[in-house]
Amino acid sequence: MAIYNAFLMFAQAAVYFAVMMSLLRVRGTIGIGVFMCALGVMHFLETYLASVFYIQLPFGIVSPGSTVLFSGKLLMILLLYIREDALVARQPIYGLLIGNFLIVALVMILRNHDTVVVTDGRIPDIAFVDEMGLLMVWGTILLFIDSIAIIVLYERIGVWVGRNPALRFLICGAAVLTFDQAGFFLALHYVSGAPWHVFFGGWVAKMIATVVYTGFFVAYLKFFNDERGWLTNRPLKDVFQVLTYRERYEDLLEATSYDHLTGTLHRRQYDQEAPEILARSLKDGRTLSLLVIDIDHFKQVNDRHGHQVGDKVLTTIARMLKENLRSDDHLYRVGGEEFVLLCERLPAEGAVSMAERIRKSIERFSTIYLPEKVTVSIGISSAPVDGENIEDLFQRADVRLYEAKKQGRNRVAGP
């Protein structure tokens, strides 16, 4: 019998997940409200089943309402957040909170009616209504806390486990449902005297439910996540590239911060960040050096070999510059063939030494691997000696760059 009950619960979870994910999938056609209504209408049933309906499983006594329906609802709210954003996900969270409190308030008024018997033996059980009202209030508060906690935790652990939604889904579900099981059981124990073995059986069941729902989630991402059709040949590795809209937005911001050709930060980032970096260095009493690096005769490279070779030269030099960066350095492409390197905690003599190393490396590498020899000229300024604002520093380094070019190029000009 216990095995049969386990099979039935698995079937319930499969049906629940299939229907709710179908509604989530077609939200663009029928509206997100259908998904939210389906999510909300079962809360009373969940609470009722968690109060009085228990079955025997191989590892203990559990409630299908708590294990399948409540666990599923909480994880569905997380899925809604993953597929949409916080603005959409908070709608069912607040809606469930307000709606369930409204139910309790109305029931508290209804219980004061003078009722009449219409069918023999069918009279309202006011004591059960009171018990359910208390559990509804407490369960709703827990759901509100759980819903926010699972979304916050999903975001936080992304820093540690990376953008692996299935693993994050599993960890968040296990952690928050453990908290929920403890919280709801305490109320159930207080109201109805539920024995402690119900707590442990219910906790194990919720952990298993988290694993099962995570498995359904991975299967959905693999086979049914293509909006153009139900069955696809989506590789399993692609399952772990599904991002929340917030993460996609961060990726977009990151992508727009970098020059698409060289992978260095671009001019807009320099304009935004350089004054702040300089101000921070001056405030802390640290030196800062600015290097303006320009590719010599770059137009001639384009004219002789074409822009494709010119792009290769740019990407090669950018890569070599990045290979020479320290943790306190910031590299920007500020013009067609011009780069700026901001070096925190680097005095002028150290900047000159770095610039010479970069210049020689580029010259040596280009002689062997590029279509023709490519060199760079570098002008250097240092704060606070050469200026205390970024415009003065850049202008001083640019003047020295011009001096290096006048002296024959492939040179470093410093303070």
- Burial-class residue 58 by CB neighbours within 10 Å (0-12, 13-18, 19+): exposed
Between CA 345 and CA 82 the distance in angstroms is 41
CA nearest neighbour of 341 among 281, 298, 253, 277: 277
Question: How many CA atoms within 13 Å lie on the side-chain side of 61?
Answer: 12
Sign of CA dihedral 250, 251, 254, 259: negative
pLDDT at position 235 is 46
Stronger pLDDT, 98 or 225, i.e. the higher one: 98
CA nearest neighbour of 53 among 83, 93, 12, 14: 12
Q: What is the topology classification, in CATH, of domain 258-413? A: Alpha-Beta Plaits (3.30.70)
366, 375 contact by CB (below 8 A): yes
Q: Does position 229 have pLDDT exceeding 50, yes or no?
A: no
Question: 318-343 pLDDT, tens per residue?
Answer: 999 998 888 889 999 998 899 999 99
pLDDT at position 293 is 96
Between CA 26 and CA 8 the distance in angstroms is 27
- Burial-class residue 113 by CB neighbours within 10 Å (0-12, 13-18, 19+): exposed
Q: Does position 278 have pLDDT exceeding 90, yes or no?
A: yes
Q: Does position 253 have pLDDT exceeding 70, yes or no?
A: no
Question: 376-394 pLDDT, tens per residue?
Answer: 999 999 999 999 999 999 9
- Phi-psi map region of 412: left, alpha, beta (phi>0 left; psi -120 to 50 alpha): beta
pLDDT at position 352 is 94
What single DSSP character describes residue 388? S
Long-range residue pairs from 263-269, CB within 8 A, at least 24 positions apart, any chain: 263/315, 263/318, 263/319, 263/322, 264/318, 264/321, 264/322, 264/331, 264/332, 264/333, 264/339, 265/330, 265/331, 265/332, 265/333, 266/332, 266/333, 266/334, 267/332, 267/333, 267/334, 267/335, 269/332
Residue at 376: amino acid letter: V
Question: 146-176 pLDDT, tens per residue?
Answer: 888 888 888 788 767 766 778 888 898 899 9
Question: 180-189 pLDDT, tens per residue?
Answer: 888 888 877 7
Write down how long the chain is.
415
CA angle 244, 246, 247 (to 5 degrees): 70
Between CA 109 and CA 113 the distance in angstroms is 8
Residue at 355: amino acid letter: A
Helices (H), 336-411: 348-369, 390-406
Please compute the mean of the pLDDT values over residues 47-61 and round it to a whole number: 79
Measuring CA to CA, how many Å separate 180 from each of 71, 232, 276, 342, 415? Answer: 9, 37, 45, 51, 65
Extract the tokens encoding 124.
Answer: 């309202």
Position 240 confidence tier, pLDDT thresholds 50, 70, 90: very low
Domain boundaries, the chain: 2-112+124-243, 258-413
- Which residue has 């033996």 as its token pair? 121
Between CA 174 and CA 194 the distance in angstroms is 23
Please compute the mean of the pLDDT values over residues 244-271 and round it to a whole number: 72
pLDDT at position 362 is 93
The pTM for the full model equals 0.55
- Give me the residues paired with residue 56 across strands: 61
Name, in order, each residue with C-beta under 8 angstroms of 313's C-beta and a sequence gap of 6 or more: 295, 298, 301, 366, 370, 374
Position 233 confidence tier, pLDDT thresholds 50, 70, 90: very low
Please compute the mean of the pLDDT values over residues 230-257 and round it to a whole number: 49
Please compute the mean of the pLDDT values over residues 307-328 and round it to a whole number: 89
